[in-house]
Amino acid sequence: MIHTNERIPSIQKFQYLVISAMQPRSSIELTARNYKVTRRELLKKRYDDLRAIKKKHMSVFTMSKIDKEAANAIRSLVDYVLRHL
């Protein structure tokens, strides 16, 4: 929402990124140029970790059992599996 909003200046996007999405990093100066660098590099490091992604998806093998054949329990199971596919 923030990144694609053309009405928000880069400096405000960067401030939102640092305060909300990342832990504040005092070593990075809040400038419009640093927004692009931070978005590309820090977010990629944090969220583009293939090992962590694979580990998260492996949790599909340890999901809880369905105790009763109820429509909402089956729907939850299907939703859970589909999220990981």
Q: Residue 3: which of 52, 50, 43, 30 has the closest Cα?
A: 43
Tell me, what amino acid is at 53? I
CA distance 25 to 22: 8
Domain residue spans of the chain: 1-48, 50-85
Q: Read off φ and ψ for residue 21, nearest 5 degrees.
A: -90, -25
* pLDDT number for residue 26: 55
In a structure prediction context, what are the per-residue pLDDT tens digits for the chain, which is 85 residues long?
778 888 998 888 888 777 765 554 556 777 778 777 777 777 777 777 788 878 877 877 777 777 777 888 888 888 888 887 7
CA distance 44 to 21: 12
* pLDDT number for residue 21: 57
